[in-house]
Amino acid sequence: MLKFGLLGEKLEHSESPKLHQQLMDEKSIDGTYELIEIPKDAFQDTFLSLKKSDYRGVNVTIPYKETVIPFLDEISPQAKYIGAVNTILFSNGKAKGFNTDYFGFRALFEQNDIKVKGLNAIVLGAGGVAKAVQKALCDMGVFDLTVVSRGKENFHNQYTVSYDFYKEKRPKTDILVNCTPVGMYPNINESPLSKTLINAKIAVDVIYNPEETLFLRYARELGIKTINGSLMLQEQAAKAQEIWNQETF
């Protein structure tokens, strides 16, 4: 039996085991998918032990998508450019990193028939998933991209501003994407922005639990088209299974 799993700090909300089991069942793959919660101070030892275990591969989520990179033996060119890894293949005692969040995010727009080329976008957050989202938006032809961050992160010279600056300017944009964990279960009564600061044509939240975050509810009440992260989760998971099993899903 093949073994797969999800590495993260807090995983009680995750729907990944159910989703990956469905994908494996569809292809008659005999495998299991487990949640592997790791405290930050134990990440290195745990990951190095996984490399020597019988796991075929793992996904990586908050807060380890960037932390894991120094412990990899190989990294795909795309994941290296993005600077974040969410999928790892173990083979012959080595670990190779990939980023399937990129494909999952692109699917949100492709399957909703939304053309990004020439539009403006604002991304909230600068973590691992935000970096994949920024790369995807750029590759789809976004005209202008601004990142709103609590820190000073800068992704390949994209324009980065603070939340204080954002609140002061209250910018209008075509696409507004929440890539922070704010509003994720169980903290469902939180939003990265107040309702008065949401001014866009399309609002996207990469969070999938709850189905409608407070951020998306605010946007919907303002008459803005909303998209949640459910499809992104499904598509990135399918891509991960393709990497692990060398089979198209």
Q: Is the CB of residue 97 less than 8 Å from the CB of residue 41?
A: no
Is 78 found in the same domain as 156? no
Is 108 found in the same domain as 223? yes
**pLDDT (0 to 100) of residue 160:** 87
- For tokens 């600056």, name the residue: 165
- For tokens 């938006």, name the residue: 137
Into how many domains does the chain fold? Answer: 2
Is 63 found in the same domain as 110? no
Is 225 found in the same domain as 122? yes
Give the residue from 69, 82, 187 showing the smallest Cα distance to 137.
82
Confidence of residue 167 (pLDDT cuts 50, 70, 90): very high
The stretch 229-248 carries a mean pLDDT of 94
Is 225 found in the same domain as 106? yes
Is 154 found in the same domain as 55? no
| pLDDT(154) > 60 | no
Between CA 216 and CA 124 the distance in angstroms is 13
Per-chain mean pLDDT for the chain = 94
- Parent domain of 220: 102-229
| CB-count burial class (<10 Å; 0-12, 13-18, 19+) for 94 | exposed
How many other CB atoms are found less than 10 A from the CB of residue 234? 18
Is 156 found in the same domain as 120? yes
Between CA 112 and CA 58 the distance in angstroms is 29
Is 150 found in the same domain as 82? no
Is 108 found in the same domain as 218? yes
| pLDDT(157) > 70 | no
Is 65 catalytic? The answer is: yes
Residue 233: both structure tokens together: 């989760």
The neighbouring-strand residues paired with 205 are 178
Task: For the full predicted model, state whether its pTM sits above 0.85.
Answer: yes
The neighbouring-strand residues paired with 59 are 6, 87
**Is 151 or 128 the better-scoring residue by pLDDT?**
128
Is 197 found in the same domain as 81? no
Enter the DSSP assignment of 126. -
Between CA 189 and CA 177 the distance in angstroms is 18
Is 212 found in the same domain as 125? yes
The stretch 156-165 carries a mean pLDDT of 79
**CATH number of the CATH domain containing 121:** 3.40.50.720
**CATH number of the CATH domain containing 44:** 3.40.50.10860
- For tokens 């990469």, name the residue: 206
Q: What is the pLDDT of residues 44-58, one digit of tens each?
A: 999 999 999 999 999
Is 91 found in the same domain as 36? yes
H or E element in which residue 137 lies: helix 128-139
**pLDDT (0 to 100) of residue 196:** 97
Q: Of residues 40, 65, 80, 239, which has the active-site annotation? A: 65
Q: Is the CB of residue 103 less than 8 Å from the CB of residue 93?
A: no
State CA 201 to chain mean position distance. Answer: 22
